[in-house]
């Protein structure tokens, strides 16, 4: 079974609006989720959508009220997300960071009391689409044990960096968890009743496991051994106490929808116009990309381009278990969603 990108967007908007979410927020959530599926991050696409509905039902995602700017300087701001949709709060925070960067050269925005926001790369792209460099760092509910330990005390703490380019064939972005894989890959394997590959996770006793549930109860390994762990450690603090959010095992609610979310985000936007100059920066960016391609090298972002082309042409695959979850969600609001899907 599959769904087209257009239908996925309409499906998410229709369901969210039936659950009381206003259109401007529903359309942002739909856009981020479909971007995740388009780029091949199915773990953070439609597959994560049922989690958000559970959060609305539990009251941990608030459909009333709005985010607040708590503190502001020419180049920085602190945002209280007031437990609105993470997608909506982070888009608004990124808009603010871009505005500040265009005025001062740099815009840094911290967010607390927001919610899970899907793929980090959507937000860094908002900056690169406006000729700026976008960086996003977040922490999450623990999934990774400290190097040398057994108990999960660090999140999968993603980082994304998007770089502007003048070449329409280039998309330059790295969007990655600091764990060897995102938690979503274990959740997806569990939903599909599949094993995970060896070398991704340990059970709660610290033994290697291919059982996704045992990995979720234990820990996911860092990418790149100590170096991935060390980055996750730093991001725990930069996206935690620095922005009035929790860190370590005090971070909750990114994978458990019935608990108020305590994670944080740090958004950094740099406007090259205030440094080397935008034209000059992009000239050297594109020259570097050409040099890498001449060596048959892969550019961070190439895989996303390949996935976007594939999914525009062939649609997004939807497994049976996910279809059933979506149908159950729709039935509660007496919506018929069958026409959105095709075999």
The binding site for ligand NAD (CB under 6 A) comprises: 41, 43-44, 116-121, 138, 140, 156, 158, 160, 174-177, 181-182, 184, 254, 298, 300, 302-304
* Residues 231 and 239 sit within 8 Å (Cβ to Cβ): no
Q: 6-13 — which CB contacts under 8 Å span 24+ positions?
A: 7/340, 7/341, 8/33, 8/34, 8/37, 8/46, 8/316, 8/340, 9/34, 10/340, 11/326, 11/337, 11/340, 12/46, 12/49
- In the complex, the smallest distance separating the C-beta of residue 183 from ligand NAD, rounded to whole angstroms, is 7
Q: Where are the alpha helices (DSSP H) in the chain?
A: 5-18, 23-38, 49-58, 86-104, 121-128, 183-191, 212-217, 226-238, 278-294, 302-314, 320-332
Instruction: Choose between 3 and 119: whose C-beta lies nearer to ligand NAD.
Output: 119
Q: Report the 3 state secondary structure along 230-286.
A: HHHHHHHHHCCHHHCCCCHHHCCCCCCCCCCCCCEEEEEEECHHHCCCHHHHHHHHH
- In the complex, the smallest distance separating the C-beta of residue 53 from ligand NAD, rounded to whole angstroms, is 17
In terms of Cβ atoms closer than 10 Å to its own Cβ (0-12, 13-18, 19+), residue 59 is exposed
Instruction: Choose between 141 and 271: whose C-beta lies nearer to ligand NAD.
Output: 141
Task: Please give the Cα distance from 267 to 90 (Å, whole number).
Answer: 9
The SS3 assignment for 167 reads coil
Instruction: Choose between 25 and 35: whose C-beta lies nearer to ligand NAD.
Output: 35
Task: Please give the Cα distance from 14 to 1 (Å, whole number).
Answer: 20
Task: Please give the Cα distance from 189 to 206 (Å, whole number).
Answer: 20
Instruction: Choose between 161 and 202: whose C-beta lies nearer to ligand NAD.
Output: 161
The SS3 assignment for 33 reads helix
- In the complex, the smallest distance separating the C-beta of residue 255 from ligand NAD, rounded to whole angstroms, is 8
Beta bridge partners of 133: 270
CB neighbours (10 Å) of residue 296? 6
- In the complex, the smallest distance separating the C-beta of residue 109 from ligand NAD, rounded to whole angstroms, is 17
- In the complex, the smallest distance separating the C-beta of residue 74 from ligand NAD, rounded to whole angstroms, is 29
- In the complex, the smallest distance separating the C-beta of residue 117 from ligand NAD, rounded to whole angstroms, is 5
- In the complex, the smallest distance separating the C-beta of residue 254 from ligand NAD, rounded to whole angstroms, is 5
Instruction: Choose between 170 and 254: whose C-beta lies nearer to ligand NAD.
Output: 254
* Residues 157 and 236 sit within 8 Å (Cβ to Cβ): yes
Instruction: Choose between 7 and 160: whose C-beta lies nearer to ligand NAD.
Output: 160
If we measure between CA atoms, which residue out of 255, 232, 253, 251 comes closest to residue 243? Answer: 251
- In the complex, the smallest distance separating the C-beta of residue 100 from ligand NAD, rounded to whole angstroms, is 23
Instruction: Choose between 179 and 325: whose C-beta lies nearer to ligand NAD.
Output: 179
Edge-to-edge strand list for the sheet holding 219-220: 208-209, 201-202, 219-220
- In the complex, the smallest distance separating the C-beta of residue 181 from ligand NAD, rounded to whole angstroms, is 5
Instruction: Choose between 100 and 185: whose C-beta lies nearer to ligand NAD.
Output: 185
Instruction: Choose between 140 and 219: whose C-beta lies nearer to ligand NAD.
Output: 140
């Amino acid at each position: 079974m599959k769904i087209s990108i257009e239908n996925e967007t309409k499906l998410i908007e229709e369901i969210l609006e039936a659950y009381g979410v206003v259109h401007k927020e529903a359309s942002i959530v739909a856009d981020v989720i479909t971007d995740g599926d388009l780029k091949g991050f199915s773990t953070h696409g439609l597959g994560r959508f049922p989690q958000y509905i559970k959060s609305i039902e539990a009251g941990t995602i608030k459909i009333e009220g709005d985010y607040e700017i708590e503190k502001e300087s020419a180049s920085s701001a602190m945002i209280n997300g007031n437990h609105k949709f993470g997608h909506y709060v982070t888009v608004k925070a990124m808009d603010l960071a871009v505005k500040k960067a265009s005025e001062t050269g740099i815009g840094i925005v911290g967010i607390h009391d927001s919610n899970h926001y899907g793929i980090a790369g959507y937000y860094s792209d908002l900056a690169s689409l406006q000729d700026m460099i976008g960086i996003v760092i977040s922490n999450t509910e623990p999934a990774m044990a400290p190097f040398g330990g057994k108990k999960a005390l660090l999140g999968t703490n993603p980082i994304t960096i998007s770089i502007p380019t003048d070449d329409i064939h280039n998309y330059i972005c790295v969007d990655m968890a600091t764990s060897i894989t995102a938690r979503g890959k274990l959740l997806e394997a569990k939903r599909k009743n599949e094993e995970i590959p060896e070398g991704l996770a340990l059970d709660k006793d610290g033994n290697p496991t291919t059982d996704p549930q045992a990995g979720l109860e234990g820990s996911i390994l860092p990418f790149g051994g100590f170096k991935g762990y060390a980055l996750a450690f730093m991001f725990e603090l930069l996206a935690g106490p620095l922005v009035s959010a929790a860190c370590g095992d005090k971070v909750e609610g990114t994978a458990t929808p019935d608990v108020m979310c305590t994670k944080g985000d740090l958004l950094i936007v740099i406007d090259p116009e205030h440094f080397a100059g935008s034209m000059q920066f992009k000239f050297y960016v594109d020259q570097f990309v050409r040099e890498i391609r001449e060596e048959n090298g892969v550019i961070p972002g190439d895989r996303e381009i390949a996935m976007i082309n594939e999914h525009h042409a062939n649609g997004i695959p939807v497994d049976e278990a996910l279809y059933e979850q979506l149908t159950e969600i729709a039935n509660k609001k007496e919506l018929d969603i069958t026409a959105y899907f095709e075999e």
